[in-house]
Structures are given as C-alpha cells and as structure tokens.
Amino acid sequence: MKKRVPASVSDLRKAFQKHSSLGNGGASPSHFLLQFYAAECGIKSIYLRQKRLKEMDDVSNKKLNDDGHNLHQWAKEIKLPRHIVETNPKFKLPKRTATKDWALSTAHQAWRYGAVMDQSDEAVLVAWLESICSWISERI
C-alpha cells in the first residue's frame, strides 16, 4: 500500500471548502487545478463518511487506492447522480499529441505542468468538476 499523508473526514471536508472557494469562478489552469483537488477531497470525505471510515489509510478498496486521482471511479463509488457519473470527460493536448485522448485522472497533471488542453475539452472538464463540487457542497 502506498504511503500517504493521513487525512480524516474533517481534514478532507476542510480541504474541499478551501480549494473550492479559491478555485471557483477562476479561469486559469491554477483555478481548475484547485477545483480538481476540491472535487477529489470532497468525494473522498463523503466516501469515508459513507463507509464509516476515519481516514484515507482505512480505505481498503485496491482499485481506489491504486489510482486516487480517478475521480470518475470515486464518483461511481459514492453514487453521484447518473448525469455526472455517465460523463467521463477526456481531453486532448493539441500541441503534444493531438490524436490521443487523455483520461480525466490525468487532468491535474496537465494543469500542474502547464500543458495546454483543447479548449472545448477543458470547458467540458471544468463544467463536470463544477457539477461535482456543487453536489458536494449540498452534502458537506
């Protein structure tokens, strides 16, 4: 199992609120990155609550542990509404590999490293993250 910083339900909830408030409404890759991490923290907080777990180290689901940034998988696990789960945005990096579709779980890397996404793909991805954060906000 991977070593990770211990994060409790409360830690993740607070991180969701902080990242969401700083990333919401911004138009830069840095804002989108914060929204990605907000969605990740919020989903994981809800997952821990649903499973009655205290912190992330208590998660025994290998599929989730192996790819902690796979928000689509986490969204399915916590049973987000169908219209969110059925959307699994992918994106292209036109200046690098125009024909390759990159998985949602790698979006945080693209934003973090400054890779430029296809604008329409990025818009769909950001809207998807916003819908997740909106749903989480009503439950946290």
More confident residue, 62 or 48: 48
Neighbours of 16 (CB within 10 A): 24
Asked whether residue 78 is domain-assigned, the answer is yes
For the whole model, what pTM was predicted? 0.91
* Reported confidence tier of residue 1, pLDDT bands at 50, 70, 90: very low
The number of domains in the chain is 1
Asked whether residue 43 is domain-assigned, the answer is yes
Asked whether residue 2 is domain-assigned, the answer is no
* Reported confidence tier of residue 53, pLDDT bands at 50, 70, 90: very high
Asked whether residue 4 is domain-assigned, the answer is no
CA atoms of 49 and 113, how far apart (whole Å): 32
Asked whether residue 33 is domain-assigned, the answer is yes
What are the tokens at 107?
């979006």
Q: Which domain holds residue 103?
A: 9-137
Asked whether residue 34 is domain-assigned, the answer is yes
**Average pLDDT value for the chain:** 91
Which CATH number do you get for residue 117? 1.20.120
Check: CB of residue 36 under 8 Å from CB of residue 71.
yes
Asked whether residue 3 is domain-assigned, the answer is no
Residue 79: phi and psi, rounded to 5, are 60, 50
- 105-119, pLDDT tens digit by residue? 999 999 999 999 999
Q: Give strand ranges (E) for 33-75.
A: none
- 56-105, pLDDT tens digit by residue? 999 998 888 888 899 999 999 999 999 998 988 999 998 876 678 999 89
- 53-88 in b/e form (b: 16+ CB < 10 A) is bebbbebeeeebeeebbbbbbbbebbebeeebeebb
Check: CB of residue 85 under 8 Å from CB of residue 95.
no
What are the tokens at 109?
């890397």
Kindly state the percentage of the chain with pLDDT values over 90. Answer: 75
What are the tokens at 34?
């914060």
CA atoms of 36 and 34, how far apart (whole Å): 5
Asked whether residue 1 is domain-assigned, the answer is no
